[in-house]
Structure 1
Amino acid sequence: MRAFVLLLVALLAAPAAAGAQSGASRSAMTSVGTETGLPIPRFVTLRAREVNVRTGPGVRYPIDWVFQRPNLPVEVVAEFDTWRKIRDFEGTEGWVHQSMLSGRRTVIVITAVRLLRSEPAESSPPMARLEPGVIAWLEACRADWCEVEVAGIDGWLRRGDVWGVRADESVEE
């Protein structure tokens, strides 16, 4: 009986130890995707006019909603096989197929009307007023400013006025 109890304790402890080990591996992998080797999280862009967002990583999972905004920036927060778990600027998450994502970057104007400036400085003359929800192509970021292109107009926005680029991220042309 004592041998049975020890065996039972050993069997019960094994999954816990395996879970702790995979938890340690999981936390070590939070900075690199298991499928691509790319950073996690990272920003990408929706490629298509309609993108099905599923409750899990595969076609057997139901469609939770459909994005209908091409070029919307999203954040990849997890990877599984050919599926990417994404988060939008409002915090909504779901799974999409990798073919629906592009590495070409965009940003979205958040919270208020923002001025697109000709140079990366508050004193620079404004070139356009951008409403919340406007999507701009990201070209580069230096310090607190990002160079973007909107409707054929190149200019600069404060990094904190857009979503789709990290505060500490360097983006080169």
Structure 2
Amino acid sequence: MKRAVWILSLLALSAFAAPARADEDKVPYWASIDTDVANLRVGPGNTYRIEWVYRRMHLPVKIIRREGAWRQIEDPAGDKGWMRDLLLSRQRAAIVTGDDLVEMHAEASDSSPMLWRVEPGVVGLLGDCDAGWCAFDTDGHKGFVREDALWGAGEP
């Protein structure tokens, strides 16, 4: 009897876990590189040639396809390739885009005090985005940056 109750309990718990897992499997989604050195390969396996070596922790990437433990990614420059899932994190990050310095404000408003000017190519952790502004943290410098100045914000 105890075994039957235990099995029913496991089945009930797995029914609740299945929808969350299904959401994790949807592509595309944002991720970030979670290691100091990450290889991008031309195919989903260790036997495929390495095309790029990334040396940029928290670089945002877009996951566009899944194959087992491998993820096909697109980087901010538009390059695509395959990377092991262990090298990636679901932690959101973004990179400053454009040609000009971008202002980081104390609050999500142009009228709030400007804290820093951030160069294109700067990578940081991405917080919540609302009304065209995103919380952004680059090496402990925290503030708000316009969403349209970031690659990795918004819908993938």
TM-score band, normalised by shorter chain: 0.7 to 0.9
Distance in 2 (alpha carbons) for counterparts of 1:100 and 1:94: 13
TM-score by length of 2: 0.81
Distance in 1 (alpha carbons) for counterparts of 2:139 and 2:54: 21
- Relative contact order (C-alpha < 8 Å, sep 6+): which is higher? 2
Specify the SS of the correspondent of 1:75: strand
- Aligned residue-pair number: 135
Q: Give the deviation of 1:124 after TM superposition.
A: 1.4
Sort the Cα spacing of 1:95 and 1:63 in 2 relative to 1 into closer, same or farther, 3 A.
same
Choose which of 164, 168, 171 in structure 1 pairs with 2:152: 164
User: Which amino acid letter does the alignment assign opposite residue 74 of structure 1?
Assistant: V
Q: Larger Rg: 1 or 2?
A: 1
Q: Give the deviation of 1:153 after TM superposition.
A: 2.4
Is 1:53 matched with 2:55?
no
Structure 2 unpaired stretches of 5+:
1-21
Q: Give the deviation of 1:37 after TM superposition.
A: 4.0
Is 1:121 matched with 2:109?
yes
Structure 1 unpaired stretches of 5+:
1-34
Equivalent residue for 2:137?
Answer: 149
TM-score by length of 1: 0.73
Percent identical pairs in the alignment equals 34
Distance in 2 (alpha carbons) for counterparts of 1:152 and 1:43: 22
Specify the SS of the correspondent of 2:66: strand
Equivalent residue for 1:30?
Answer: none
- The structure that is strand-richer by fraction is 2
Equivalent residue for 2:19?
Answer: none
